[in-house]
Chains A and B, each alone.
Chain A
Amino acid sequence: MKTRTLLAVLTLIAGIGLAAVSYLFLAAPLGRPTAESLSNPRFPFAAALFVVGIVAVFASAVVYEVLPDGREQRAPARQAPSR
């Protein structure tokens, strides 16, 4: 498997994981607020982490497309002129 694919998949999984964990476990709990603690996030900036997770999911597409070819492709790529 190319490095690029691996990295992209890792970013995707990390993103989904971070988003899920932030939403379910780090942010303020879902459900009726019956005490002050239930209106606060369990971990600071959990919402920011959630957004970072979502961003990572879509950034994995950029990783997959933009990252330069791995070792296997370096030889042929050098032959093509860049302009």
Chain B
Amino acid sequence: MAKFGMVIDLDRCMGCRACMEACKVENNTTQAVFWMYVFRFEEGEYPNVNISFMPRPCQHCDNPPCAKVCPVGARYKREDGLVATDLDRCIGCRYCQVACPYGVNYFNWTSPKATVKAGDTLLSVSAPGASGLRLGASYVPKLPQYLDWSGPAAEAVGKVTGGVVPPYKNPDLVKSYGPERRRIAGGEHPKGVIEKCTFCVHRVEKGMDPACVANCPVSALHFGDTEDPQSEVSRLLRQRQAWQLLEENNTKPRVFYLGGKPPGTETRQIEAVKARV
């Protein structure tokens, strides 16, 4: 039985966040949801400042605190190492989210909506004190949304790319996977359930790499079977010294980092992340 893991080479990562983009496109995630996230860190005081980058997918832990606490077993550990979320069973209690030390969970606070247009009325708060608003002519979308490729936007892009660009609404996302036949790929992101990085289970089951791994321009991300001594990830782990995030929490993550160093107490992000729904 394959046991998948990811190896992230921080010596190669340049913080371009192509993996975040790829994840977003592949999984059709909604606004401010970053199943794959890349930290842009800064340490030290000017002029002795050090910048580093750290991709943070779900760690698919072998001792997952999220799966331990799920009251209904919607979040579970597969035998191939993936930690999956059954979107049909999830009751939206968000216990997995508060239990996760890595902050990889994203709850669907509302249903994703197709592209909104000027004149629409929204109910959205993105900052304290804001309230529902009617969109004016210069509206900037605030609601979580994804492009609806059955809409007019799809035609335009299809023309430009000659139909080459894959559909945003990937039908693989709603299918059932694994011998357990459960829907764990994210689907249409129904409201009231929680989701996170799936290691692109819908791609992995077809023998492909996750979208982030496949799209990294500098091959900083590697994915494969850690139990197979000949796989790329096994070879990398043999050749180089690897470390893991928050090892002391005994979560036994399946994501290994090469090079760089774990974030310290003085590590901070370059800028405050403002993405919020």
Using a CB–CB distance below 8 Å, which chain A residues touch chain B?
Answer: 28, 32-36, 38-41
Chain A residues with CB below 8 A from B180, complex form: 36
User: CB of B7 within 8 A of chain A?
Assistant: no
User: CB of B113 within 8 A of chain A?
Assistant: no
Is chain A's interface secondary structure helix, strand, loop, or mixed overall? loop
Contact between A36 and B70 (Cβ–Cβ < 8 Å)? Answer: no
Chain B residues with CB below 8 A from A41, complex form: 73
Is chain B's interface secondary structure helix, strand, loop, or mixed overall? loop
Please, how many angstroms separate the alpha-carbon atoms of A40 and B73 in the complex?
A: 6
21 residue pairs bridging A and B, Cβ less than 8 Å apart: A32-B63, A33-B64, A33-B67, A33-B73, A33-B76, A34-B62, A34-B79, A35-B77, A35-B78, A35-B79, A36-B76, A36-B77, A36-B78, A36-B79, A36-B182, A38-B76, A38-B77, A39-B70, A39-B73, A40-B73, A40-B76
Chain A residues with CB below 8 A from B73, complex form: 28, 33, 39-41
Closest CB in chain B relative to A80 CB, distance in Å: 51
Closest CB in chain A relative to B70 CB, distance in Å: 7
Please, how many angstroms separate the alpha-carbon atoms of A34 and B3 in the complex?
A: 12
Inter-chain pairs besides A35-B78, A36-B180, 19 sampled, C-beta below 8 Å: A28-B73, A32-B63, A32-B68, A33-B67, A33-B73, A33-B77, A34-B62, A34-B77, A34-B79, A36-B76, A36-B77, A36-B78, A36-B79, A36-B178, A36-B182, A39-B67, A39-B75, A39-B77, A40-B73
Please, how many angstroms separate the alpha-carbon atoms of A76 and B64 in the complex?
A: 65
Chain A residues with CB below 8 A from B182, complex form: 36
Closest CB in chain A relative to B53 CB, distance in Å: 32
Please, how many angstroms separate the alpha-carbon atoms of A28 and B79 in the complex?
A: 16
Chain A residues with CB below 8 A from B64, complex form: 33
Ranked 10 nearest A-B pairs via Cβ: A39-B73, A39-B76, A33-B67, A36-B180, A33-B77, A35-B79, A36-B76, A40-B73, A36-B78, A32-B63
Chain B residues with CB below 8 A from A34, complex form: 62, 77, 79
Please, how many angstroms separate the alpha-carbon atoms of A33 and B63 in the complex?
A: 7
Chain B residues with CB below 8 A from A32, complex form: 63, 68
Please, how many angstroms separate the alpha-carbon atoms of A39 and B68 in the complex?
A: 8
Please, how many angstroms separate the alpha-carbon atoms of A35 and B3 in the complex?
A: 12
Please, how many angstroms separate the alpha-carbon atoms of A5 and B75 in the complex?
A: 45
Chain A residues with CB below 8 A from B179, complex form: 36
